[in-house]
Every structure is written in C-alpha cells, then in structure tokens.
C-alpha cells in the first residue's frame, strides 16, 4: 500500500505537532496544448467565455505537478506537506510551467500530558 501524505495550505495540521522540517518539496510540469486543444481554444476565444480546452490543459498540469510534489515528499520520508501553493509561468505561447510546492514535515501526535499542559498554559484567568 502506498504511503499517504497529508497536504494543506495551512502552516500546521490540526491534532498534530511538527516534529521535523524536511525542507521544500516540489513538482514541476511543463505543458503545451495539443493541436486540437489549440484549435478548440481559438474558436472559444472568439466567442468569449470560459475556454474549456485551455482549462483542461491547466487542470491536468496542476494535477500532475501535485502528484510529483507528493512523490517528492514521500522520497523525503514526509508525513505531510504544509504551506502548499501553486505557481504558473507562461514562457512561450501555449507553453506553461506549473509548479506545486510546499514544506515537507514529519508529524507526531502530542501526548495527553502535553495537551493538558498546553491547555493549562493558555487558560485565561
């Protein structure tokens, strides 16, 4: 069974403490539209509205970049990726780089004593 890695855009994961920061992980994909998508997109852009053909290219690129980022996290032995983000750059007409990135971390569940001590420390009064 493949290892599961939690991914969040937040800086932590509820119910867990960060035990170790393993560094930045990333997945990069460079995509170009197919000829068919280019033609469909050109016709759609004339008519206006959402350009479904280009949306398909972008969504597939994001998905592939995300999978590569998670694979990179697994290679590093991560339990989770925090502060996950996407970035995209077009560097030629119809050619786009999509980057998924975040911070790989090892997690641990706090002990009952640690939770009790933390609650006592932040208790008002």
Residue 78 has, within 13 A of its CA and on its CB side, a CA count of 24
Reported as a single tens digit per residue, the pLDDT across 54-107 is 677 788 889 999 999 999 999 999 999 999 999 998 877 767 889 999 999 999
Pairing of strands 95-108, 17-32: antiparallel
Instruction: Give the CA diameter of the chain.
Output: 68
Question: Domain segments of the chain: what residues?
Answer: 6-122
Range among 38-52, 61-75, 108-122 with highest mean pLDDT value? 61-75
pLDDT at 36: 57
Given a cut of 70, whether residue 117 has pLDDT beyond it is: no
pTM over 0.75: yes
pLDDT at 57: 75
Reported as a single tens digit per residue, the pLDDT across 55-69 is 777 888 899 999 999
pLDDT at 48: 56
E strand map for the chain:
6-7, 17-32, 80-92, 95-108
Answer whether 102's CB lies under 8 Å from 81's CB: yes
pLDDT at 67: 97
Q: Report the percent of the chain where pLDDT is more than 90.
A: 50
The hierarchical CATH code for the domain 6-122 is 3.30.110.70
């Amino acid at each position: 069974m493949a290892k599961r890695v939690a991914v969040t855009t937040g800086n932590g994961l509820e119910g867990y403490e960060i035990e170790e920061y393993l560094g930045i992980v990333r997945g990069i994909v460079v995509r170009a539209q197919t000829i068919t998508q280019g033609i469909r997109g050109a016709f759609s852009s004339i008519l206006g509205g959402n350009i479904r053909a280009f949306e398909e290219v972008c969504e597939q690129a994001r998905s592939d970049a995300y999978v590569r980022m998670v694979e990179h996290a697994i290679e590093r032995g991560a339990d989770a990726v925090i502060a996950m983000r996407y970035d995209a750059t077009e560097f030629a007409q119809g050619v786009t780089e999509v980057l998924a990135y975040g911070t790989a971390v090892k997690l641990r569940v706090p002990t009952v004593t640690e939770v009790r001590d933390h609650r006592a420390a932040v208790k008002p009064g």
